[in-house]
Amino acid sequence: MAGTRNYQSIGEVLVSVKPEFPDITISKIRFLEAEGLIEPERTPSGYRKFYSDDVERLKSILRMQRDEYLPLKVIKERLIHQDAGAEDGEPSADGEARSEDGASLVEEIAEAPTGLQMSLEEMSTATGIERDRIKELEAFGIISSHGPEGARYYDGDDFIILSIVKDFFRYGIEARHLTMYKHFADRESSFFDQIVAPTLRQKNPDARRTAAQTLANLSATSRKFKQALLRTNLRDHLTSG
């Protein structure tokens, strides 16, 4: 049929993915493109052309953010790995990608996930969280803006935290309720710091890498331990029958 096209505009993509991702916005899609995670073609007039593969890639990114809370840098590396596998004719095994999470976690801890510098307005647009709520979270020490007065910005770590706490907000949880996580994280990081401090005091050039790997292992173990304890405490509510 003449005039039929096999791609979608950015607005049509927004409509198609919104049932699964209610918080998606056009600004968020543009943000992911600016970060290099999606690369839709452009018409001669500059309009984006999303083919079916582009839409599936977008959905995959959004699922990794929502379900695994992965930083954009880790998501990008996972996509590069999958793309390389596809080019080599190998299946993109999710299990293989997941096996690299330990290495990814090292990078997660060692540096900011993306190196982003976003204003309050940009962060609100990217995460779908109201500006007042972002400022409230900052007041409680959950996130922290950086830079000089008049040019304050939020970074990639703030983006990850906001992407996570947004799920709490859906259940009526408020910023003040999240301070218990902040207090525990402060105590836990101090505890882990004592463990790796002797390694960091060494002059060995590999000491920092060893310390980062130790922190990654401790963090992963801590996460599993907390999940197990939480399940034990909620066992009566989680088991059916």
Which pLDDT does position 68 carry in this prediction? 80
Q: What is the pTM of this model?
A: 0.58
What residues contact 239, with CB distance under 8 A and at least 6 apart? none
- Cα separation, 93 vs 82, whole angstroms: 8
pLDDT band at 2 (very low <50, low <70, confident <90, very high): very low
**CB neighbours of residue 38 within 10 Å:** 20
Given its phi and psi angles, is residue 172 left (phi above 0), alpha (psi -120 to 50 degrees) or beta?
Answer: left
Q: Please tell me the least confidently modeled range out of 9-18, 111-120, 152-161.
A: 111-120
pLDDT tens digits, residue range 53-101? Answer: 999 999 999 998 888 878 788 898 899 988 887 666 554 444 443 434 4
Q: Which amino acid is at 190?
A: S
Reduce the secondary structure of the chain to three states and give it as a string: CCCCCCCECHHHHHHHHCCCCCCCCHHHHHHHHHCCCCCCEECCCCCEEECHHHHHHHHHHHHHHHHHCCCHHHHHHHHHHHHHHHHCCCCCCHHHHHCCHHHHHHHHHHCCCCCCCECHHHHHHHHCCCHHHHHHHHHCCCCCCECCCCCCEECHHHHHHHHHHHHHHCCCCCHHHHHHHHHHHHHHHHHHHHHHHHHHCCCCCCHHHHHHHHHHHHHHHHHHHHHHHHHHHCHHHHCCC
> Alpha-carbon distance 157 to 159, whole Å?
5
Q: Which domains does the chain have, with CATH numbers?
A: 10-100 (1.10.1660.10), 112-173 (1.10.1660.10), 178-235 (no CATH)
Residues 6+ apart with CB under 8 A from 128: 23, 24, 25, 28, 166
By percentage, how much of the chain surpasses pLDDT 70?
85
146 forms beta bridges with: 153
Between 133 and 85, whose confidence is greater? Answer: 133
Cross-strand bridge partners of residue 8: 50
pLDDT digits 0-9 by tens, 13-46: 998 898 898 888 888 899 999 989 999 999 988 8
42 beta partners: 48
Query: What is the distance, to the nearest Å, from the Cα of residue 169 to the centroid of all Cα atoms in its chain?
Result: 17
Q: In 10 A of CB 75, how many CB atoms?
A: 23
Q: Are 50 and 10 in contact, with CB atoms under 8 Å apart?
A: yes
Confidence tier at 1 by pLDDT (50, 70, 90): very low
Residue 200: what pLDDT?
86
Average pLDDT value for residue range 166-171: 91
Residue 110 confidence (pLDDT): 38
